[in-house]
Structure 1
Amino acid sequence: MVDCPHLRSIAPMKTSYLALFYRSWPRLASKALQATTANLPNSFAIGLFCVAALCAAPVPLKAQDQDPFYYEIRPLFENGEQLGQVYRFRNVGLIQCLNGDLLAFVEARHDVSDHSEKDVLMRRSKDRGTTWGPYEAVWGHLEEDHAGWKDPAPVVDKATGRLFYFMNTNESEKRLFYMTSDDSGYTWSDPIRIPDSLLRPEWKRWRNNPGPAIQLKVGKYKHRMLIPGHIVTHEDRHFSVVWYSDDHGESWQVSETAVQGSDEVSIIELSDGRVLMNIRSHGELDPGLDPAYRNFMYSDNGGESWYGLETKRDLPWESGHGSLAKMELGDGNLLFAIHPLVVKRKDLTCFVSYDEGKTWPYKKLLHEIGGYSSTIVLDNYDIAMSHNHGFRGEHGIDFVRFNLSWLTDGKEHANPTVQPLPQAPESKATDRAIWREDFELADRTILDGGSTAWKILGASNAPIGAAVSNGKFRTSDAGGEIVWQTGRIDIGDAKRISIAVDAIKIGKFNNSDSLRIYYRLGDGDEKLIESLSFSSDPQEDFETYRIRKHDINVSGNQQAQVIIRSRINGDDKTLYWDRVEVARAE
């Protein structure tokens, strides 16, 4: 195939209206029939309604059953007030979960600046993007948390079913975090930090890149998760890297750097198991990088190192991050590269490769104005893409969906039936919850007399310094020690238990501040689980902690308590804790 001007002959917006009518036909036909049959004999009316019902009834969707030329575009995140906050939306990450739900994550900026405070919001579609649920807050809502949570990068571990969401923060772009969900994004862990021990001495900051991360499917490194990103040295030189995990996110490593001048990247696995890196160039460039085009590098060891720099002169490029996606077909893979072609991020264009990125002979305009994008291929072989609308996201985030027939003007079709999504394996966890507190209570609650009873002891002004806030228990300077404790928890005939607490500190803590977690069995003494020590490093003003005590021998006791003692000195710092759990560990 060659690039010809007539390949842009179908206007995307006009095609959108046709596609929307086609999708809406059963609903419209049903309403029309209601009016038409109002004065008809019952038997005839019933017959017509049966026909309408058959037309509207859902059937297993196949790629070949869709519109021959299908394209639609719609607003996904609209700038303005959402969830009580005025937001400016930039940069999006798409992922399809193992239950089929399509999730879209976004930077919800409090201001237009790249360095503004940002929250993480999400929307969910249960019909591959035809309709979308409400805006949902994922992270960033704690009152003292003013970080800029940026660069959404989701990935699903298909071996465990766990959804990972990667992000970094504004302050120095030194801090890289991820959250996890075991129920397709309905509930989330607190942010977990990638250890700074991976940050090499010559690097001054690092960040992941927006858009979906990947999990390898074939070969020696099958199930390895790869998170694309880049680092900046103390000399302000840029290098692309990936973070990778071989143990389902329990630990992480960072790759060797790609070529100097490589910056934001997108990655894809090729059919032979190699990883392709699609590079945005920035700063002081290696002589082999041509900033007028996209540049590629490859890895044959699962992303641990990079080789083979190539300039793709059939992928012209102006600026900004580009997305990359793969469609796996029986007779070979198609790759899609999407990025703007014109200055100030105009003419967002999709390029197609039939030889796994060696050449890119075909392109088609997707939208006249569009910047950073996130692209995935859905289980029904639709291509789903979301992008910034406008040079600086002036018009929020759009969602675009189209099929291969529309993209190639009927020259190619995706005929396979819907790809079966991997089934999430059954949990092998041996712990079974006996008691759990998630603090899903009204703000300022200071005791719970219900089935998960707990109370506060200690400081006289505890109602001011300690209470439920935003679905967590919050403590600040209360003029003394705050003691939070559960009631006596009936553990029945359990022989061993485990105890878990998640905690967050915000602010510049020092040695005078403390958080200690204890347990008590029966009428026995308090036993220490963990005493947290806090760093005074200004870079460590936001930290999360996962406190776990496994395999506690209860020695015939039938009751247990959890006690949390905190002491904070100063108005500029806060502790939160959540997910306090006692479980069987047998």
Structure 2
Amino acid sequence: MPSSLRVRLRSLRTATAALTVATVGALLPAPAAQAVRAAPESVAPFEQQVLFKADRDPGYACFRIPAVVRTVKGTLLAFAEGRVNDCGDAGDIDLVLKRSHDGGRTWGPLQVVNEGDGDTHGNPAPVVDRETGRILLAETYNTGRTDSKNCDTPCDRTPHLQYSDDDGANWSAPRDLSKEILPPEWNSWYATGPVHGLQLTRGRHKGRLVFTANTETWNGSRVTANHAALIVSDDGGDHWKIGATDSYPIPADGTFRQKPSEMTITERPDGAVYVSGREQDGTDLGHRTHTVSRDGGNTYTAPFRAIPDLYTPQVQGSTLQFGKRMLLACPADPDRRRTMQIRSSYDGGRTWDSVDRGTTVTTDWSGYSDLVRADRTHVGLMYEGGAVDARDEIRFARFTEDWLKPRRGPDPTTSDRAPGARPAAVLGGARVTPGRFG
């Protein structure tokens, strides 16, 4: 789409949204009066809607990379990458936003938070400072392309930050964070999030802001290392530093044990930070990898390790502490991005529900996601989905704990006589019977 037409479309969209707001505002009572007469909160166990889609939001060919947070005023801010020309990862990409004031039931018009203007401005990682109300948005830039291809290696990726002090209505100009959190050896791939960050609520580092970054090192001819890091701030986002980092060398033959990337973080009830990452092309079994930080994100207690029993394709996922459960949203098909599920852990992420215990959101194609506490009773799930392709649209689902499958006891097992093998779980309600031979 020619840039002039795109500008006109965006201008038309903005003007239309402003006219709609003005017209509707003239007919409706003042916000305070509305609040007095607000209907009782819905407790529907599950509902969902399309949030971003190209044929509904003119000026964009594709929307990807969801991230969502709830502000101190209860507003939900749903971020995405608005991809102008196609679904490619390194084209002309804007950061866009929609806001909801009723827990995700309805949403306002699309806002452009950061226009790529031909370059890639993406990987949203929002964090809410609940002491000041400020919303901080970490993001990553690189030079845009017009041929739908990925960024060349090494890629010129740089971290930036914006903030809003009015519940996401307006945003500051972006500032480059390279001097603070981009050391010289992280000179190739660099990605913030993409998923919400958090503010710690317990322990010695209470109030600290944290988001994740995945980076690579380039030696002039090839990528030689991968780094999975936490980025932290102790002054409300004015300054940032690199915290916990786990680095993995990549040998010359390209064979490596694991490569944690696109990490999601959750503060557990015990104050530890649980870190779950996408496992990318390593030799370890399993497609999720995880670790924990017990010192507010300064260090990891151990290197990342893969979770062989947690089946999911190579894809970004999201986690959220929800009462006594920790939730994980990710596709459940082991080798393709399909069948979005919610799985639960009842021990702080040490073990997770198997696929048969998870709750299926859709059997459609599905990809990246983010989770948020939408209101007092509902969790919100923002995810990529589609009947034909996972990149068809971005949806927002709301569900209660009653909608999730209840916790159940351990399945029966049968011994595996292979050396060193663990007993196998027996699924489907099978039980011991007298049998034909005893």
TM-score interval, smaller chain = 0.7 to 0.9
Contact 1:90–1:393 (8 Å) recurs in 2:
no
1:182 corresponds to which of 165, 186, 190: 165
1:66 and 2:43 are equivalent in the alignment: yes
From the superposition, tell whether residues 164 and 303 of structure 1 become closer, same or farther in structure 2 (CA, over 3 Å).
same
1:159-308 to 2 correspondences below 5 Å: 159-171=131-143, 172-205=155-188, 206-234=190-218, 235-236=222-223, 237-260=225-248, 261-283=259-281, 285=282, 289-290=284-285, 292-308=286-302
Contact 2:43–2:377 (8 Å) recurs in 1:
no
What is the DSSP-based 3-state SS (H/G/I as helix, E as strand, rest coil) of the residue aligned with 1:112?
coil
How far is the alpha carbon of 1:60 from its aligned partner?
5.8
What is the DSSP-based 3-state SS (H/G/I as helix, E as strand, rest coil) of the residue aligned with 1:90?
strand
Gaps of 5+ in 1: 1-55, 412-586
Contact 2:82–2:96 (8 Å) recurs in 1:
yes
From the superposition, tell whether residues 259 and 281 of structure 1 become closer, same or farther in structure 2 (CA, over 3 Å).
farther
Gaps of 5+ in 2: 1-35, 144-154, 249-258, 409-438
Q: What residue in structure 2 maps to residue 139 of structure 1?
A: 114
Q: What residue in structure 2 maps to residue 399 of structure 1?
A: 396
How far is the alpha carbon of 1:174 from its aligned partner?
2.5
**How far apart are the structure 1 equivalents of 2:191 and 2:102?**
32
How far is the alpha carbon of 1:200 from its aligned partner?
2.6
What is the DSSP-based 3-state SS (H/G/I as helix, E as strand, rest coil) of the residue aligned with 2:377?
coil
Q: Kindly provide the amino acid, as one letter, of the partner of residue 365 in structure 1.
A: T
Q: Which structure: greater strand fraction?
A: 1
What is the DSSP-based 3-state SS (H/G/I as helix, E as strand, rest coil) of the residue aligned with 1:255?
strand
Contact 2:228–2:245 (8 Å) recurs in 1:
yes
1:86 and 2:54 are equivalent in the alignment: no
Q: Kindly provide the amino acid, as one letter, of the partner of residue 274 in structure 1.
A: A
The CA deviation string for residues 143-189 of structure 1, in whole angstroms up to 9 with x for no partner, is xx322111111111011110111111133352111110001001110
**How far apart are the structure 1 equivalents of 2:390 and 2:311?**
22
Normalising by structure 1, what TM-score? 0.55
**How far apart are the structure 2 equivalents of 1:86 and 1:338?**
26
1:363 and 2:358 are equivalent in the alignment: yes
What is the DSSP-based 3-state SS (H/G/I as helix, E as strand, rest coil) of the residue aligned with 2:402?
helix
The CA deviation string for residues 539-559 of structure 1, in whole angstroms up to 9 with x for no partner, is xxxxxxxxxxxxxxxxxxxxx
Q: Kindly provide the amino acid, as one letter, of the partner of residue 375 in structure 1.
A: L
1:336 corresponds to which of 327, 333, 345: 327
What is the DSSP-based 3-state SS (H/G/I as helix, E as strand, rest coil) of the residue aligned with 1:127?
coil
Normalising by structure 2, what TM-score? 0.73
**How far apart are the structure 2 equivalents of 1:173 and 1:321?**
22
1:101 corresponds to which of 56, 72, 75: 75
1:350 and 2:334 are equivalent in the alignment: no
More displaced 10-residue stretch of structure 1: 245-254 or 188-197: 188-197
1:387 and 2:364 are equivalent in the alignment: no
Contact 1:88–1:112 (8 Å) recurs in 2:
yes
How far is the alpha carbon of 1:349 from its aligned partner?
1.1
From the superposition, tell whether residues 402 and 321 of structure 1 become closer, same or farther in structure 2 (CA, over 3 Å).
same
1:326 and 2:321 are equivalent in the alignment: yes
1:153 corresponds to which of 106, 116, 125: 125
1:120 and 2:95 are equivalent in the alignment: yes
The CA deviation string for residues 321-370 of structure 1, in whole angstroms up to 9 with x for no partner, is 0111111x3xxx31001111223300111111112112223411111121
Q: Kindly provide the amino acid, as one letter, of the partner of residue 275 in structure 2.
A: M
More displaced 10-residue stretch of structure 1: 158-167 or 194-203: 194-203
**How far apart are the structure 2 equivalents of 1:357 and 1:242?**
18
Contact 1:238–1:282 (8 Å) recurs in 2:
no
1:408 and 2:408 are equivalent in the alignment: no
What is the DSSP-based 3-state SS (H/G/I as helix, E as strand, rest coil) of the residue aligned with 1:405?
helix
What is the DSSP-based 3-state SS (H/G/I as helix, E as strand, rest coil) of the residue aligned with 1:196?
helix
Contact 1:81–1:87 (8 Å) recurs in 2:
no
**How far apart are the structure 2 equivalents of 1:148 and 1:392?**
22
**How far apart are the structure 2 equivalents of 1:387 and 1:230?**
21
What is the DSSP-based 3-state SS (H/G/I as helix, E as strand, rest coil) of the residue aligned with 1:315?
coil
How far is the alpha carbon of 1:210 from its aligned partner?
1.3
Contact 1:382–1:402 (8 Å) recurs in 2:
yes
How far is the alpha carbon of 1:393 from its aligned partner?
4.2
How far is the alpha carbon of 1:81 from its aligned partner?
6.3
More displaced 10-residue stretch of structure 1: 251-260 or 185-194: 251-260
**How far apart are the structure 2 equivalents of 1:355 and 1:107?**
34
Contact 1:267–1:324 (8 Å) recurs in 2:
yes
Q: Kindly provide the amino acid, as one letter, of the partner of residue 243 in structure 2.
A: S
How far is the alpha carbon of 1:73 from its aligned partner?
1.7
**How far apart are the structure 2 equivalents of 1:344 and 1:313?**
17
What is the DSSP-based 3-state SS (H/G/I as helix, E as strand, rest coil) of the residue aligned with 1:304?
coil
Q: Kindly provide the amino acid, as one letter, of the partner of residue 297 in structure 2.
A: G
From the superposition, tell whether residues 255 and 378 of structure 1 become closer, same or farther in structure 2 (CA, over 3 Å).
same
Q: Kindly provide the amino acid, as one letter, of the partner of residue 293 in structure 1.
A: H
